[in-house]
Amino acid sequence: MDIQTLLDQAIEARKKAYAPYSKFQVGAALLTKDNQVFLGCNIENASYGLTNCAERTAIFKAVSEGRKEIEAIVVVGDTEGPIAPCGACRQVMAEFCDKDTKIILANLNGSKAETTIDQLLPGAFSLKD
Ligand SMILES: O=c1ccn([C@H]2C[C@H](O)[C@@H](CO)O2)c(=O)[nH]1
Ligand SMILES: [Zn+2]
């Protein structure tokens, strides 16, 4: 599974976004270490703070199916440059991404940046150490 295939799937998943308030659609595609793909979109709520971002949707879907090991996750939105995940998503990624997990941030115009959780959230909160 290459990154472009995952990006294409994230772009498709983005179309399912439920974003009547912000009108800002985001898609995500997650590849587990055992080669399963889970897709996500943002899901908003009239009580705005209850919104779930696309990347968290994909992560929660994977974890709830017993797949906690993430090989790669792609996030895409209609941003100027590569999309920047919010702080809540960075903290959730920190829970399930290891230092080698590929995090690919993209937009609809071909901008792409590959990063890691250590770069996105240095000094992430953890109970483990
Ligand atoms: O990385 C991001 C950034 C934002 N959003 C969503 C949350 C909200 O529905 C909308 C506007 O912030 O975009 C995501 O899903 N992922
Ligand atoms: Zn978020």
Q: Which domains does the chain possess?
A: 3-120 (3.40.140.10)
Output the CA 52–ligand 1 centroid distance in Å: 8
The predicted pLDDT at position 127 comes to 85
- Please report the sign of the dihedral spanned by the C-alpha atoms of residue 20, residue 21, residue 27, residue 30: negative
Environment of ion ligand 2 (residues, CB < 5 A): 53, 86, 89
Residue 94 pLDDT exceeds 90: yes
Instruction: Report pTM.
Output: 0.97
- Count CA within 13 A, CB hemisphere, residue 54: 31
Q: Whose CA is nearest to atom 16 of ligand 1?
A: 53
Q: How far apart (Å, rounded) are the C-alpha atoms in residues 57 and 13?
A: 11
Q: How far apart (Å, rounded) are the C-alpha atoms in residues 87 and 124?
A: 10
Q: Which two tokens stand for residue 104?
A: 């690919």
ipTM above 0.95, yes or no: yes
Residue 29 pLDDT exceeds 70: yes
Active site residue 55: yes
The predicted pLDDT at position 129 comes to 61
Q: What is the mean pLDDT of residues 39-48?
A: 98
Q: Whose CA is nearest to atom 14 of ligand 1?
A: 53
